[in-house]
Amino acid sequence: MKNLLTSSQMRNADAYTIKHQSISSINLMEKAAKAFVKVFKKEVPNKEARISILCGQGNNGGDGLAIARLLYGENYKEIAVYLIDFSENQSEDNKKNIKRLLKFKIPVVIIKGIEELKNLQADIIVDAILGSGLNKPLQGNYADTASFVNDLNAKVIAVDVPTGFNSEGGIAEKYSGIKADLTICFQRPKINFFFPESVKALSRFKVVDIGLDENFIENQKSEWKLTTEQGIKKLIKPRKNFSHKGTYGHALIVAGNNTTMGAALLAASACIHSGAGLTTVCLPQSGLIALNTSLPEAMALPRNQHLAMEAFDKLSAIAVGPGLGIEEENEEILEKLVNLRKPLVLDADALTLLSQRGDLLYELPAQSILTPHMKEFDRLFGEHKNWWKRVETARREAVERGLIFVLKNQYTFVCLPDGDVHINSTGNPAMASGGMGDVLTGIITGLMAQSYSSADAAILGAYLHGKAGDELAKKRFTVSASQLALQIPKTIKRIIK
Ligand SMILES: NC(=O)C1=CN([C@@H]2O[C@H](COP(=O)(O)OP(=O)(O)OC[C@H]3O[C@@H](n4cnc5c(N)ncnc54)[C@H](OP(=O)(O)O)[C@@H]3O)[C@@H](O)[C@H]2O)[C@@H](O)CC1
Ligand SMILES: Nc1ncnc2c1ncn2[C@@H]1O[C@H](COP(=O)(O)OP(=O)(O)O)[C@@H](O)[C@H]1O
């Protein structure tokens, strides 16, 4: 897993690297510019493209100036540099890079006011006006420049972060900065890139290594962790010699209703395919034929009010919710499950029932995992103005109540009782179809049955779910939930190879 740092922590990482790796700040800037250019060349192979590089007066602008010189060296023919000269302050490395640039035959235009940009014509804009040094919302000339750039019919590639975009903290409802098609950012993605509101400022990002001290970065205190495949590989437990079905636990999935039986089947399939030794599905009588026909590996427990909960004590993992229905009898079952005092996996209708039963919500056994999407989460804890606030609530509730929240989205946030937020970056829009969440619940339950801790099951489950979807999406326009469940064993096998 990788630590994600705030801008000020990243500045400390810059300073630490400069001090301890005997590299000057100007050379670090050169390294950053080279790393940018390497990606840029692949993105813009056309050497005739008209490239306008807009440089501010800080270090972000310094990067832009170095990038202009390096692109010139790479034989890009139509480069123009615009010095966005709206402020009194200029960084030392910015000054040095202007001196270096002026030795080359690259047109440089000094911009004192927005009207001086009027003649700019470009296919590509490199945005190096303001980077992670942003300390207030854009106003005046800066905001006007951003809106001018956004109105151009050009592809915008931002250096490190689009001008005007906060690297962390809530994203302003009205964004006044530059909208970049691509952001090439240094060493680590910005925390805010993973929040859905970032679409106002960037379509996609690529992270390049610029040689900052990794030990220093990983030793910083940060609650934000990015799940990596290397980290996931370490979590996966191998199947043991002489093992048998009893070794891998017994999972129970309480799910399904007359019109939503598929949810139970999907969750059960995912549970079986993620490796649970035994899977029992507690579903209405009307679902038995479907279960026995489609999943002969699963066992069935017909659901009624007289369920004998004593037998549940021996189970290694229990999930409740997919397609369950919110009738009174299901509320009663949920209450009985909560009273077992064993960690549960709670999804879908179980979450809706909890939103009507605040008393039960606050009685959930510690280490239980809740897997809400945005609406389910807000039903539980009230409307949130933005995702930053939503994740803050999830984090607070996780810490206060010892619970785990898997807050689902394109990037899923896994909030743990120790206050850490693990961001999952696998998954893709081909997966945006009904039943996907049921499959995630099945995977997490299957992992818990195999005695993964709740935290590991949530982090690993979210990763495998998205990764299986990514693998399938390489050859498919859309990925269905049933296909995804079947892909899980292949994904795990490939990861541990
Ligand atoms: N350090 C290193 O070695 C490396 C750093 N790298 C690069 O440095 C970038 C960070 O550079 P940076 O810290 O100089 O800040 P930058 O974003 O250029 O801003 C400059 C100044 O702008 C001002 N300002 C802020 N907000 C404003 C606003 N809304 N409207 C108007 N003005 C505003 C503010 O000045 P102030 O207003 O405080 O006087 C601020 O100080 C980073 O993103 C990466 O590209 C890489 O080269 C790798 C090595
Ligand atoms: N565009 C996307 N990118 C990544 N993951 C996605 C995307 N769309 C959906 N998913 C994943 O699919 C799941 C959908 O869950 P949910 O909304 O509960 O579905 P359902 O209720 O139909 O089962 C989540 O885990 C989510 O992360």
The pLDDT tens digits for 98-155 are: 999 999 999 999 999 999 999 899 999 999 999 999 999 999 999 999 999 999 999 9
pLDDT value of residue 309: 83
Q: What does the mean pLDDT of the chain come to?
A: 96
The whole-number average pLDDT for the span 20-36 is 96
Distance CA 256, CA 321 (A): 8
Q: How confident is the model at residue 280 (pLDDT cuts 50, 70, 90)?
A: very high
- Residue 486 CA to residue 200 CA, distance in Å, equals 36
DSSP 407-462: EBSSSEEEE-TTS-EEEE----GGG-STTHHHHHHHHHHHHHHTT--HHHHHHHHH
> Distance from CA of residue 431 to its chain's centroid?
15
> Which residues make Cβ contacts (< 8 Å) with residue 400, sequence separation at least 6?
none
Please name which ligand lies nearest the alpha carbon of 426: 2
Q: Which of 201, 222, 243 is the last residue of a domain?
A: 222
User: What is the 173 CA–ligand 1 centroid distance (Å)?
Assistant: 23
Same domain, 215 and 242: no
Token pair listed for 426: 């696998």
Q: Give the pLDDT score at 310.
A: 81
Clarify whether residues 168 and 292 are in a common domain. no
pLDDT at 242: 96
Domain span at residue 43 reads 2-222
- 182-211 average pLDDT score: 97
Task: Give the number of the ligand closest to the Cα of residue 440.
Answer: 2
pLDDT score for 172: 87
Q: Which of 198, 222, 246 is the last residue of a domain?
A: 222
For the CA of 12, the nearest ligand: 1
Q: What is the pLDDT of residues 439-487, one digit of tens each?
A: 999 999 999 999 999 999 999 999 999 999 999 999 999 999 999 999 9
Counting ligand 2 atoms within 8 A of each CB, the residue from 408, 426, 459, 467 with the most, and so the one to mutate, is 408
Residues 28 and 85 in one domain: yes
Q: pLDDT tier at 89 (50, 70, 90 boundaries)? A: very high
Q: Is the per-residue pLDDT at 195 higher than 90?
A: yes
Percent of the chain with pLDDT over 70: 100
Instruction: State the CATH number of the domain containing residue 301.
Output: 3.40.1190.20
Q: What is the pTM of this model?
A: 0.95
Q: Ligand 1: does its nearest atom lie under 6 Å from the Cβ of 97?
A: no
Q: Are residues 329 and 425 in the same domain?
A: yes
Give residue ranges with CB within 6 A of ligand 2.
348, 373, 408-410, 412, 427-429, 431-432, 434-438, 440, 465-466
State the pLDDT at residue 192: 98
Q: Is the CB of 133 under 6 A from ligand 1?
A: yes
Which one is predicted more confidently, 203 or 306? 203
Q: Where does a domain end: 192, 222, 252?
A: 222
Clarify whether residues 99 and 141 are in a common domain: yes
State which ligand 1 atom lies nearest to the alpha carbon of 63.
47
Q: Whose CA is nearest to atom 49 of ligand 1?
A: 29
CB distance 360 to 366 below 8 Å:
no
Q: Are residues 234 and 188 in the same domain?
A: no
Q: Are residues 52 and 144 in the same domain?
A: yes
Indicate whether 185 and 237 sit together in one domain: no
For ligand 1, whether the C-beta of 89 sits within 6 Å is yes
Query: Any idea what the CATH number is for the domain that residue 128 is in?
Result: 3.40.50.10260
In 264-420, beta strands by DSSP E:
278-283, 299-302, 317-320, 344-346, 369-370, 404-407, 412-415
Please check if 263 is assigned to a binding site.
Answer: yes
* 412 marked as part of a ligand binding site: yes
Report ipTM (2 d.p.): 0.92
Alpha carbons 263 and 442: distance in angstroms, whole number? 10
Task: Inform me whether the pLDDT recorded for 299 exceeds 80.
Answer: yes
Q: Cα angle vertex 248, ends 245, 250, to 5°?
A: 85
- Domain match, 370 and 452 both: yes
* pLDDT confidence of residue 311: 80
Q: Are residues 155 and 290 in the same domain?
A: no
pLDDT in tens, 398-455: 999 999 999 999 999 999 999 999 999 999 999 999 999 999 999 999 999 999 999 9
Is 60's C-beta closer than 6 angstroms to any atom of ligand 1?
yes
